[in-house]
Amino acid sequence: MSALDGRPARSRWWSGGARALWGPVRDFGRAELGAPVGEVWRRLRTGGVLAVPLTLTACVGIVALQVLQHLRGASDWVDRLGGVYATLPWWQALLRTPLSLFVPDPSLPIWGLMLQVVVVFGIAETTLGARRTLGVALLATLAGTAFARYSLWTGPGGFLGLPTSDLLVRDTGPSAAVVALGLYVACRYRAWWTAAAIVAAMVIEVVTITNLAGFEHLAGAAAILLLTAFETWTGLAPPTPARPGADTLTR
C-alpha cells in the first residue's frame, strides 16, 4: 500500500478516533455496571450453574409449562393453576400468582423468554440472592395484576383505562418480573443511567404500543421505585456494594 494514496493516514485517523471513543465508553461501562458484572462473574466462577438454582428452576418450569399447555387435557390444568385474569376474585388471583410467573404466552416463541430469564434472573440471583429475587419478581407481578384490575374498574374512559377486550386475556409470564429485577439491581448498585434507561424504555413502550403488557411493565417498574425509596428511607435496604468492582473484569 502506497503512502501517497492517503489510505494509511486515513486508517491511522480512524484507529485513533476509535481508541479515543472506546476509552470513555469503557470507563463509563465499568463505572456503571462493573460491580454487578464482577459479582456475577465471581459467583459463577465459584459455584458454576449451581450458583443460580432459582434461575435453573424457573427455566425448567417455563419449559415444562410450555409443553403442558400444548397438550390436550393438561392445558386446562395449567390454566386453572396458573392462569390469572383481571376478572378473577382476588383470592384466586393470589393463589395462582406464583405459578403464573412461569406460565409463558403460548402464542410467543419461548426462546426469547428463556433468554430474558437466564440473563436477568441470573444476574439478580447472584447479586440479590434467591429469596429477594423471588420477592421482587412476585411484587412486580402483583403490581401488574393490580393495574389490570384498576383499568377494568375505571373503564376505557378513565385514567389509564384500557378497552375491556384488552383486559380479559390471560395475564401470565415473567416479563414484568424481568423489568423489575433489572431495575432493582440497577438501583441497588446505583447504576442510575441504566435505571433511567429501563424506565424510559417502559414509558416509550406504553406510548408507542398501548396494551396491557406495556402498562404492567410500567406498573412493575413503579412498584420497584417505591420499594427502593421505602427501603432507603427505613434503612432496610441491603448494603450498597462498592461501585468500582470493575477490577474483577480484568483479572
Place of cell 433489572: 182
Average pLDDT over residues 82-93: 88
Distance CA 71, CA 167 (A): 26
Which pLDDT score is estimated for 220? 92
Place of cell 413503579: 222
Q: In 3D, which of 241, 231, 138, 143 has the Cα closest to residue 186? A: 241
Q: How sure is the predictor about 1, in pLDDT bands with cuts at 50, 70 and 90?
A: very low
Measured in residues, the chain has a length of 251
Which pLDDT score is estimated for 185? 92
Q: How sure is the predictor about 201, in pLDDT bands with cuts at 50, 70 and 90?
A: very high
Q: Is the pLDDT of residue 35 over 70?
A: no
Q: Is the pLDDT of residue 134 over 80?
A: yes
Average pLDDT over residues 9-36: 57
Q: How sure is the predictor about 173, in pLDDT bands with cuts at 50, 70 and 90?
A: confident
pLDDT digits (tens, 9 = 90+) for 220-232: 999 999 999 888 8
| C-alpha cell, 243 | 461501585
